[in-house]
A and B are shown apart, each in its own frame.
Chain A
């Protein structure tokens, strides 16, 4: 392409002033985007990918400031542009689709109002009726077929996916030349993610809109964009055509990312490929391959038979309507193996976990652990059982007490169950920290001083403190960056083979399942729709629902090694 690029960023620097001096979030970024192109910026949290995107439209959070470099869009310099120049460009020439659909619509205004506002501000239409018609048109195109009826509704009456469609509609309302999509689907279920991204592709291709897609998911980036930019600590470490980067990464960081992405790992497994780069410290393909090679494990540790959970939901007046969250779920988990429970949000998978842990009463059916029916246990026996069955939850920020230091956090189950004396407990904490590859030096620190990945390791160490046989992992890696996620998955696999642990692994991410699980149960609307060994489910899914979930794994359409 010989024409001038639509967007040219050169030597961009963004600083955030903090109490201890300023922190450079973006450090000398250069990139070019031509009309009609889609470019993905990939990186983990804190890599500066979102900051770069926000800097383009001068919407940096807090006190963030562009301190150097230039951003030329369509022949106009944006660094140092006046407020009114930027107002003119925003919305009209550069559309923006934000990350979290839950917090990006104003809760007190109707959805129609918020779309109409964008249309009016950018001069797409004037006059009450014309603006309304344009709003309906925008929302229809964004995939809300009943837009006319829903204009007067408020954001809280829309689901997450619907809200994201509204936001995409707002972003594209004025047919901008460039659309910046900042993790547009990270908060959504995989199947919803796929439909929305497909739709976004279609809309931008039709109009020839250029797109900058910010994502942490390498598979997703490669699937949706021709050009890829990998960012690490504020710098671009690698850029070029997506497929080339994916198949032949040059920079060590990119190599690690490629090896760690569960979506790609599962892809490689399905394709029967191994990763050429053996120098990568986390290779999920290898982890999964080792698992597959293992011989069959022993007897049944956990057995669920027709487990049902009915909640009563407050209806109008004094009536309440029963809601079946879990409907006759049965499965067995063999000792030393991993059972994955997969489904979209609201499928009832977490409720199963809570019932298994005894945190929630079973409405009907039975849960048998090591031959004992949980419902028949008295308080003392239940207490003993809880010592052998430990949970790890999704949110590493919420599941650690911020006022307790790491050593005390990990030792807490030991104290509760009166295990050992003070010295023995300290020794055990030391041993556990070693098992989860954390240095002893962090034992006196507090959760607020640790990264997300470190916190999740602490949560795992705490779960292992009592030497349990069973660990229930409820979305334990969902909130983590890919590299950290890979580390934790690898750690879990190692601990399982060392200690013979039995895992119930709950996740919405099928890609992770491929790596970690021996058997899979797919849940939908409280019921198990399909169950089987991991390889069977992935290679020949019997149900359409499962097939849909599999197709929705980002990167599923990428051919590797070809």
Chain B
């Protein structure tokens, strides 16, 4: 097992270097000169522009720029944004907000998605199941910004249960409504995934054998049906958590959440190379870690899967 983890981490190194290089190149190749853009409508002062270019290493060849940047990353220096703020500070401000949002959304997905999916699967063809299928289909079909605006309008503006937008502090309570919006589509998928998985497991021979042992119905469902059915669901959840952690541009934008998605979007618009690259670098790292954890979790849930020796 340990050898497997080491191997996976070693594999992550070329993936990390490759993706950051690619992103760096894409930002580098973006049209327009970011330094000229900084001057806005005012005339460009060649001396200051030259100084800024030198300060941000923009006068160096591409590959040198990349190496200077990546060298900095390894000592915790993510560069400086054009507004003069260290990018590391921006990361430290935005990621906690997004992490809170992601945890709330994940909890909702687990409780509602698995709960409804399990009941649906056990009552296949009954009214509850049919309704759950229809409702989940509606949420899968709706674009997320529609859900966001409808929820914002109904729950925040009409009913007044929550604030329509999030304050700068972005504390847990304020994030519940955006988390619900963010979780809806995944919940719909999880209901369907859990449902079909429960139906499949319920038909397995070992479930009949479990009943034949004299186990109670509740125990068979909990120990034999649910546990086995959750294997694909947990994999989905883990990957989804990775997606949540890298921010939700649309939802964060609508609810004015000062998280990763919104900040990154603004940085792209402004052409802030170091900020964009740093955010994406952290996202790549998160993805690599989440993927590794997913695989390990999968092995922990299903003893038939064993990695390495």
Residues of A within 8 A of B (CB): 57, 59, 61, 83-84, 87-92, 95-96, 98-100, 103-110, 117-118, 121-122, 154, 156, 167, 170-171, 173-174, 316-317
A173 nearest CB neighbor, chain B only: B213
In the complex, the answer to whether B303 meets A108 with C-beta atoms within 8 Å is yes
B217 nearest CB neighbor, chain A only: A83
In the complex the two chains form, what is the Cα distance from A105 to B208 in whole Å? 10
B301 nearest CB neighbor, chain A only: A108
| 7 further interface pairs, Cβ-Cβ under 8 Å (given A109-B224, A121-B213) | A83-B217, A90-B212, A103-B205, A107-B304, A108-B301, A117-B210, A118-B215
In the complex, the answer to whether A105 meets B304 with C-beta atoms within 8 Å is no
Question: Which of chain B's residues have a CB closer than 8 A to the CB of A108?
Answer: 227-228, 231, 301-304
Nearest 6 CB-CB pairings of A with B: A91-B214, A96-B212, A118-B213, A103-B205, A90-B214, A154-B303
Per-position binary interface string of chain B over residues 188-228, scored 1 when its CB falls under 8 Å from any chain A CB and 0 otherwise = 00000000000000011110111111111101000110011
Does B309 sit at the interface, judged by CB under 8 A?
A: yes
- Smallest CB–CB gap between B69 and chain A, Å? 36
Question: Which of chain A's residues have a CB closer than 8 A to the CB of B213?
Answer: 90-91, 96, 117-118, 121-122, 170, 173
Question: Which of chain B's residues have a CB closer than 8 A to the CB of A57?
Answer: 212
Per-position binary interface string of chain B over residues 215-246, scored 1 when its CB falls under 8 Å from any chain A CB and 0 otherwise = 11101000110011001000000000000000
A102 nearest CB neighbor, chain B only: B205
Known: A91-B213, A170-B213. A61 touches B309 (CB 8 A): no
In the complex, the answer to whether A107 meets B302 with C-beta atoms within 8 Å is yes
In the complex, the answer to whether B212 meets A105 with C-beta atoms within 8 Å is no
B230 nearest CB neighbor, chain A only: A108
Find A90's partner among B211, B228, B304 (CB 8 Å cutoff).
B211
Find B214's partner among A88, A106, A154 (CB 8 Å cutoff).
A88
Residues of B within 8 A of A (CB): 203-206, 208-217, 219, 223-224, 227-228, 231, 301-304, 308-309
In the complex, the answer to whether B205 meets A92 with C-beta atoms within 8 Å is no
Question: Which of chain B's residues have a CB closer than 8 A to the CB of A110?
Answer: 303
Known: A87-B215, A87-B216, A316-B309. A106 touches B301 (CB 8 A): no
In the complex the two chains form, what is the Cα distance from A174 to B224 in whole Å? 20
A83 nearest CB neighbor, chain B only: B217
In the complex the two chains form, what is the Cα distance from A90 to B227 in whole Å? 23
Question: Which of chain A's residues have a CB closer than 8 A to the CB of B210?
Answer: 106, 117
A90 nearest CB neighbor, chain B only: B214
B231 nearest CB neighbor, chain A only: A108
- Smallest CB–CB gap between A205 and chain B, Å? 22
In the complex, the answer to whether B208 meets A174 with C-beta atoms within 8 Å is no
A103 nearest CB neighbor, chain B only: B205
In the complex the two chains form, what is the Cα distance from A155 to B20 in whole Å? 44
In the complex the two chains form, what is the Cα distance from A247 to B304 in whole Å? 49
In the complex the two chains form, what is the Cα distance from A92 to B212 in whole Å? 10
In the complex, the answer to whether B211 meets A59 with C-beta atoms within 8 Å is yes
Known: A107-B304, A108-B302, A108-B303. A61 touches B214 (CB 8 A): no
In the complex, the answer to whether B209 meets A121 with C-beta atoms within 8 Å is no
In the complex the two chains form, what is the Cα distance from A107 to B309 in whole Å? 20
A122 nearest CB neighbor, chain B only: B214
In the complex the two chains form, what is the Cα distance from A91 to B227 in whole Å? 22
In the complex the two chains form, what is the Cα distance from A458 to B217 in whole Å? 45
In the complex, the answer to whether B209 meets A156 with C-beta atoms within 8 Å is no
Q: Can you report 5 A-B residue pairs in the complex whose CB atoms are below 8 A from each other?
A: A84-B216, A91-B215, A105-B209, A118-B214, A316-B308
B227 nearest CB neighbor, chain A only: A108
In the complex, the answer to whether B302 meets A121 with C-beta atoms within 8 Å is no
In the complex the two chains form, what is the Cα distance from A193 to B209 in whole Å? 20
In the complex the two chains form, what is the Cα distance from A450 to B211 in whole Å? 34
In the complex the two chains form, what is the Cα distance from A170 to B214 in whole Å? 11
- Smallest CB–CB gap between B177 and chain A, Å? 37
Most buried by A among B210, B212, B227, B302: B212
In the complex, the answer to whether A106 meets B215 with C-beta atoms within 8 Å is no
Question: Which of chain B's residues have a CB closer than 8 A to the CB of A170?
Answer: 209, 213
- Smallest CB–CB gap between B50 and chain A, Å? 55
Most buried by A among B209, B210, B215, B217: B209
A57 nearest CB neighbor, chain B only: B212
In the complex, the answer to whether B212 meets A103 with C-beta atoms within 8 Å is no
